[in-house]
Amino acid sequence: MSDLGSALPENSFVLLARLTAQLASTARLDEMVDAVLGQIVELGFGAVWMAVLDEPSGNLHTLKEVIDGVDTTHEMPKIFMLDTRQPIGHGFRERRMINVVDPDSLYIIDGDDAEIPSGRMALPRVIYDHMRGHPFACGPLLSSRGQPVGALGLSSYRGKQPIPDELLTSGLLRAFMDHLGIAMERALHISRLERLNADLVNAQAAIADNARFKAVGELAAAVAHDLNNLSGIALMAVSVGRRSPTDAHDVLPRIERANRAIGDLVGRLQRVARAGSIISASDQVANLQQIVEDVLALASPILRERSIELVTDLPIVPAVRADSVLIHQVVLNLVLNARDALTDVDRGRMEVRLRGEDGTVRLTVTDNGPGLAPQVRAQLFQPFVTTKPGHVGLGLAAAHASLIHFGGQLEYRDATGGGAVLEVTLAQTPHVEVNDLQTRFAALEPPRRTAKILAVDDDPDILIVVRAYLEPLGYEVTTASTADQALGIAAAQRFDLVLCDVGMPKRSGLDVCQVLHECGFEGQIVLMTGWESATVKSDRRAADCDMILKKPFLGADLLAAIDSLLPPVRSTVLGF
């Protein structure tokens, strides 16, 4: 074997260079340990043990041990407490390797409560027996700053010879130990950075969610006023309709419009409030026009309350490549920021405009507020920058970073005549032609309908009106008010379509959908829900349904859903 003292032989430099490259190429502790352990074994050590220091607890965690070429990691304690009366703890206190030439000179501990004689170093019998009483050395692996980051234990040198002191202080072994200590330090730093980054992402998400829900709560309170107005219109119309059949016929369109408006307003609030996360930048499409209209419909009561004039220019524009939930949050943030900028402005004015051009869609939100000071403008999209008391300043920073993820951008400029302009730019998605062939067919002649439908809802009024609407059209409708009742009926009879409410007690419509699929149901399944459709779709049980029908709906909506799944029979056959 080559001299391993103060001078490194020529081939040792080659080994050391190779090891350095290996350690530099990975941040994984297990790969680092494997690389160095094999080299140390080649130096003549039959037993090598390595551990990493857990700084919070001050304990050592075993990474790997090899004895006579066999992996014996499972035989070693996973955690070692650093007791300064034992060689490993003594080595950590003195920042050096402790070389035990004669293990029998140590006080062997047979129990945890044993008292160690003063001035003697001790060793648990389980460790003594594990090393077969061979001479050993142990101590810390040091970082670039000389701080312990791990531990090394060596034994069975060239059989069971004592380990020369100079081997532990200079030469190739010392170089291996120094390189491993620095590599461990880097791995631990990277691990800490990853944990800190994860904690930061979670904290930012929690802060953003809190701000978003606060904003949605504020919008919901304002929307309640409009909902009360709409429901008041419907109730008054019902009162008028009760006077006579003629009056009832006259007010039905008003009741229909009011209820459609209520459903539309609730749907907008659900879309704005829906939580979600960005999974991938590809294959995600957002209807920016609808999103802007949703947000403005909800924000309008707040703007009216503050006497802010709202000017909109929202032409039909192509869909954009982005996550819908993200865009909801961005638009909501821009509108509420503009509202806050107009708090102390007489005759406040907000302009919201959409433009589609050159393969992009641009949204601008302009206010005639005080604008931003140059020092704020320069760092507007950095985290924790805000001019509003009580705000953490993450809204615009998060929006800016998220839009970049989809190839979009958020920019600020001063408005002409004073105020601020924030502009969102997103890439258009390829235009998709809508095939209206079925719509044109539908106008040719009234279809004949013959199908068996099972309607399931815990609200008896819904079952009554669904049945009253469908049966005169030719459908055979059976009803059930619970999930168990529906499953029993479906097991005994054949149905072409099951129309099932999602929100039922005990067992939901999602459970019905899953059980029907598992039992081999061959018909179509339509889930009815008052919840936001995307929330229902995210449940794995909804994967087996054929359509989700959003409540409230008109008879025409129900019929369109059924016809899309069970096309009505026609007497005319068209050829091409």
Task: Using alpha carbons, select from 139, 136, 156, 29 the residue that is nearest to residue 80.
Answer: 139
Radius of gyration of the chain (CA): 37
Q: State residue 1's pLDDT score.
A: 40
Query: Does the pLDDT at position 474 exceed 60?
Result: yes
Q: Report the CATH number at residue 508.
A: 3.40.50.2300
Position with higher pLDDT, 18 vs 424: 424
Asked if residue 130 and residue 36 are part of one domain, the reply reads yes
Strand pairing report for 45-54 and 452-456: unpaired
Asked if residue 385 and residue 461 are part of one domain, the reply reads no
The pTM score is 0.40
Asked if residue 142 and residue 215 are part of one domain, the reply reads no
DSSP letter at 53 equals E
* pLDDT average, residue stretch 367-374: 86
Residue 40 in contact with residue 176, Cβ under 8 Å? yes
Lowest mean pLDDT segment, chosen from 52-56, 81-85, 320-324: 320-324
Q: State residue 478's pLDDT score.
A: 95
Rounded distance between C-alpha atoms, residue 176 and residue 178, angstroms: 6
Query: Does the pLDDT at position 98 exceed 90?
Result: yes
Lowest mean pLDDT segment, chosen from 241-250, 276-285, 323-332: 276-285
If pLDDT is split at 50, 70 and 90, which confidence band does 575 have? very low
DSSP annotation string for 299-368? HHHHHHHTT-EEEEE------EES-HHHHHHHHHHHHHHHHHHTTT-TT-EEEEEEEEETTEEEEEEEE-
Report phi then psi at 223, rounded to 5: -65, -30
Query: Does the pLDDT at position 499 exceed 90?
Result: yes
Containing domain of residue 490, as a range?
442-565
Residue 503 in contact with residue 531, Cβ under 8 Å? yes
Asked if residue 244 and residue 112 are part of one domain, the reply reads no
Asked if residue 423 and residue 284 are part of one domain, the reply reads yes
Question: pLDDT tens-digit profile of 179-237?
Answer: 899 989 988 888 887 777 676 666 655 655 555 555 555 556 555 655 665 565 566 66
Domain assignment of residue 447, yes or no:
yes
Domain assignment of residue 143, yes or no:
yes
Amino acid letter, 567 = P
* pLDDT average, residue stretch 122-138: 90
If pLDDT is split at 50, 70 and 90, which confidence band does 352 have? very high
Position with higher pLDDT, 94 vs 397: 94
Rounded distance between C-alpha atoms, residue 488 and residue 483, angstroms: 9
Rounded distance between C-alpha atoms, residue 424 and residue 320, angstroms: 11
Q: State residue 464's pLDDT score.
A: 84
Asked if residue 377 and residue 243 are part of one domain, the reply reads yes
Asked if residue 250 and residue 169 are part of one domain, the reply reads no
Rounded distance between C-alpha atoms, residue 264 and residue 244, angstroms: 30
Rounded distance between C-alpha atoms, residue 99 and residue 82, angstroms: 17
Amino acid letter, 240 = V
Domain boundary among 141, 171, 192: 192
Task: Using alpha carbons, select from 212, 429, 202, 201 the residue that is nearest to residue 330.
Answer: 212
Domain assignment of residue 199, yes or no:
no
Report phi then psi at 115, rounded to 5: -90, 130
Q: State residue 552's pLDDT score.
A: 77
Position with higher pLDDT, 431 vs 243: 243
Task: Using alpha carbons, select from 159, 161, 151 the residue that is nearest to residue 65.
Answer: 151
Q: Report the CATH number at residue 92.
A: 3.30.450.40
Mean pLDDT estimate for the chain: 79
Per DSSP, helices labelled H in 4-97 are: 10-24, 29-42, 87-94
DSSP letter at 247 equals H
Query: Does the pLDDT at position 506 exceed 70?
Result: yes
Domain boundary among 149, 165, 192: 192
Query: Does the pLDDT at position 66 exceed 60?
Result: yes
Q: State residue 251's pLDDT score.
A: 67
Lowest mean pLDDT segment, chosen from 186-190, 376-380, 496-500, 520-524: 376-380
Domain assignment of residue 302, yes or no:
yes
Lowest mean pLDDT segment, chosen from 133-142, 243-252, 410-419, 466-475: 243-252
* pLDDT average, residue stretch 52-59: 88
Domain boundary among 171, 192, 213: 192
* pLDDT average, residue stretch 158-180: 90
Rounded distance between C-alpha atoms, residue 314 and residue 364, angstroms: 11
Asked if residue 456 and residue 320 are part of one domain, the reply reads no
Structural tokens at position 257: 């419009």
Asked if residue 211 and residue 150 are part of one domain, the reply reads no
Structural tokens at position 76: 């070693």
Rounded distance between C-alpha atoms, residue 100 and residue 93, angstroms: 16
Q: Report the CATH number at residue 305.
A: 3.30.565.10
Lowest mean pLDDT segment, chosen from 83-92, 327-336, 451-460, 471-480: 327-336
Query: Does the pLDDT at position 160 exceed 80?
Result: yes
Asked if residue 248 and residue 353 are part of one domain, the reply reads yes
Residue 112 in contact with residue 129, Cβ under 8 Å? no
Residue 246 in contact with residue 278, Cβ under 8 Å? no
Q: State residue 115's pLDDT score.
A: 80
Query: Does the pLDDT at position 367 exceed 80?
Result: yes
Beta strands, E only, 502-546 = 524-529
Q: Collapsing DSSP states into helix, strand and coil, what is residue 484?
A: helix
Rounded distance between C-alpha atoms, residue 260 and residue 453, angstroms: 25
Domain assignment of residue 138, yes or no:
yes
* pLDDT average, residue stretch 61-67: 93
Asked if residue 469 and residue 420 are part of one domain, the reply reads no
Centroid of chain to Cα 429: 24
